[in-house]
DNA sequence: GCAACATGTAACCATGTGGTCACATATATT
DNA sequence: AATATATGTGACCACATGGTTACATGTTGC
């Protein structure tokens, strides 16, 4: 039997990530992770300090919101740049399943184990989305719409429609993008 | 020992409701309900057909969205009536914890047990929020904002802030309402 | 009163959970 | 080579889960 701690740690961490990504927060447990990694769960406690440690590791590595953070460098002075930013942001959100599951998780609980992870991911969100505008109404309108985007994205995992909108159709998301752009325009007129 | 089936059924159903309302979907289980009702769980199977039956009962009784449905009668022709409707809707959502937990539940799973409940509650949402406007952009903008309201409401249970906004402050919700109103205005200009 | 039925309980089952344990085996150190 | 240490395993624990069973007791109809 070969022994390779680095490889084992990697197997555990990757199993944890893919489990979260594929099956959501509810499916993430010590037993499930150990089984998926093909390893004794004792090692998860020994190497990571249990589930809490794995979440902390995820927080530190922070391999979510990457794309959004690179966009952060863009100046957001012109209306066009804000619109571009919004469009990239919504796309990133729809494509990044791991981020989605972390956001879903935040709607379920907030305890010692998850606190660090959420704290970090929220810092990321703050960095990206803190668009301080003179017009506080625009700020709140944008925050509502961003929240709406998150909500509809999470909802689309289990629901085909929201009110009259088909969440499985790319057209719908294009329309949401357009509505978002138009709102930005209207507030800037 | 007194025997009163009606009273027992009521105890079970009420325990189920308050458990869902207070602790969310994850806390709702046969054992927990039976324990809270102070009754043998066998009776839940016998009288309701298990958890699935309880959910079905909730769907049929449908004692959520009541306030919103009475508002439905308002004509939504004038801009002012749409704004009033929006304001009442957001208030109702923030106050109705049971509705909130059902909406939260929809973000977690969709299986045989929950299907009927979600189907019914979505029909209610559709009735209330199907504002067909000539301007499809306004429609999508409103849907994003409604979704955002739902998201932020659910988020506020475990999180104090979203981006820069204090979710525990009434002012914040007033500002969201104002932003919603202003958006409606801008689209109608 | 007595039989039939409705109502209620507690024990039990298989399974799953997080967590710990003693132990085995591979790798490093002396 | 012998010893110490790092790595890995499987059994085990207490507890909780959904679900079923056998049984006891209250209520009703004859």
For B3-23, what is each residue's pLDDT tens digit?
A: 999 999 999 999 999 999 999
Q: What is the mean pLDDT of residues A37-63?
A: 95
Across B144-172, average pLDDT? 97
Report the pLDDT value the prediction gives residue B131, as an integer from 0 to 100: 66
pLDDT at A66: 73
More confident residue, B188 or A179: A179
pLDDT at A73 over 60: no
Work out the percent of chain A whose per-residue pLDDT is above 70.
Answer: 94
The mean pLDDT of A57-62, rounded to a whole number, is: 91
Whole-Å CA distances, B13 to A73, B39, B58, B98: 54, 12, 9, 13
Write out pLDDT tens, residues A77-86.
788 888 888 8
Chain A positions in Cβ-Cβ contact with residue B180 (cut-off 8 Å):
141, 144
A111 near B CB under 8 A: no
When pLDDT is averaged across residues A167-179 and rounded to a whole number, the result is: 97
Residues belonging to chain B: 189
In whole angstroms, give the CA distance from residue B121 to residue B119.
6
User: Is residue B162 within 8 Å of residue A143, measured between CB atoms?
Assistant: yes
**Strand C proximity list, CB < 7 Å:** A 1-3, 29-32, 41-42, 45, 50-51; B 1, 3-5, 7-8, 38-43
Poorest-confidence range of A64-68, A147-151, A183-187, B42-46? A64-68
Q: What is the pLDDT of residue A6?
A: 98
**Residue of A147, A187, A189 to mutate when probing chain B, most B C-beta within 10 A:** A147
Which is more confident, B78 or B104? B104
The answer, yes or no, to whether residue B76 has pLDDT greater than 80, is no
CA gap B9, B79 in Å, rounded: 46
Min Cα separation B6/chain A (Å): 34
Cross-strand partners of B166: B161
Contacts 24+ apart (CB under 8 A), A126-134: A126/B163, A126/B164, A127/A69, A127/A72, A128/A65, A128/A68, A128/A69, A128/A71, A128/A72, A128/A89, A129/A89, A129/B163, A130/B163, A130/B164, A131/A76, A131/A82, A132/B164
Q: Quick one: pLDDT band at residue A116, thresholds 50, 70, 90?
A: very high
Nucleotide nearest to A30 (CA to C1'): C18
Closest CA to B148 of A72, A174, A155, A80: A155
């Amino acid at each position: 039997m070969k022994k390779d701690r680095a490889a084992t740690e990697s197997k555990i961490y990757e199993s944890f990530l893919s489990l979260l990504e594929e099956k959501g927060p509810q499916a993430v447990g010590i037993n499930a992770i150990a089984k998926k990694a093909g390893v004794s769960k004792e090692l998860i406690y020994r190497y990571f300090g249990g589930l809490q440690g794995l979440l902390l590791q995820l927080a530190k590595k922070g391999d979510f919101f990457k794309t959004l953070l690179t966009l952060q460098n863009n100046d957001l002075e012109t209306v066009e740049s804000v619109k571009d930013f919004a469009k990239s942001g919504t796309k990133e959100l729809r494509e990044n399943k791991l981020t989605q599951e972390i956001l879903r998780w935040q709607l379920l609980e907030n305890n010692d184990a998850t606190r660090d992870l959420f704290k970090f991911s929220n810092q990321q969100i703050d960095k990206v989305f803190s668009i301080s505008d003179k017009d506080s109404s625009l700020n709140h309108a944008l925050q509502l719409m961003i929240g709406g985007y998150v909500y509809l994205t999470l909802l689309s995992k289990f629901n085909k429609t929201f009110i009259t909108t088909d969440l499985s159709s790319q057209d719908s998301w294009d329309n949401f993008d357009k509505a978002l752009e138009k709102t930005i325009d209207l507030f800037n007129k």
